[in-house]
Amino acid sequence: FQKGLKHDEL
Amino acid sequence: LLFLRSWSTRARISGKSQLLFALVFTTRYLDLFTSFISLYNTSMKLIYIACSYATVYLIYMKFKATYDGNHDTFRVEFLIVPVGGLSFLVNHDFSPLEILWTFSIYLESVAILPQLFMISKTGEAETITTHYLFFLGLYRALYLVNWIWRYYFEGFFDLIAVVAGVVQTVLYCDFFYLYVTKVLKGKKLSLPA
């Protein structure tokens, strides 16, 4: 399971 | 609002739009497993996912008898296939999680089309449905203000989210116009034949 970018918005 | 609406007859809510929203939240919030931002962020993600599936359940299972399937005829594959292709081509990072996030952003911007199509077919919408649509559109429209703010004060800019957010808001504009000119003046939203 590869990590994605950090998205802080909903 | 949708929950309340589902409990009365002839909801005229597009089950297809709600299915798309469930897919949107599922593919976007997979980062629940990989990154933690805040308690608020995590709980809202869980609430969004739970509510979207509960709504789909209500429409297709519990209140199947009152679901207006004959008017909910938008072909969702015409949205999912191009959006899926685009998310592979234009993304921030070619990784599974990131492609799914991009897919959800693109899909959200057009997920309301089955609902708008349904209204254009039936030529009218219940007032509570229009309130729901208005606030759903307002939610992303307010993000536009937030993004301008974040660009100036935090140097934050996410082109994919911004373009999709603009597209999404534009799709609602026609509806916003009807909402302000008709619904807010106490009239029912009905389109000329």
ipTM: 0.88
State how beta strands B124-125 and B189-190 pair: antiparallel
Three-state SS for B15?
A: helix
User: Which regions in chain B score pLDDT beneath 70?
Assistant: 1-11, 193
Contact A3 B41 (CB under 8 A): no
pLDDT digits over B134-146, tens only?
A: 999 999 999 999 9
> pLDDT tens-digit profile of A1-10?
556 789 999 9
Instruction: For Cα atoms B69, B71, B75, give the angle at the middle one, nearest 5 degrees.
Output: 85
Please report how many Cα atoms fall inside a 13 Å half-sphere around the Cα of residue B43, on the Cβ side.
3
pLDDT at B138: 93
Residue B34, pLDDT score = 92
Inter-chain residue contact A5 with B101, CB threshold 8 Å: yes
Q: Could you report the per-residue pLDDT of B72-104, keeping only the tens digit for each? A: 999 999 999 999 999 999 999 999 999 999 999
Which A residues in the span 1-10 are in contact with B, Cβ-Cβ below 8 Å? Answer: 1-10
Q: Which residues of A touch B97 (CB under 8 A)?
A: 1-4
Nearest CA in chain A to B34: A3
Count of Cβ atoms closer than 10 Å to residue B127 Cβ: 14
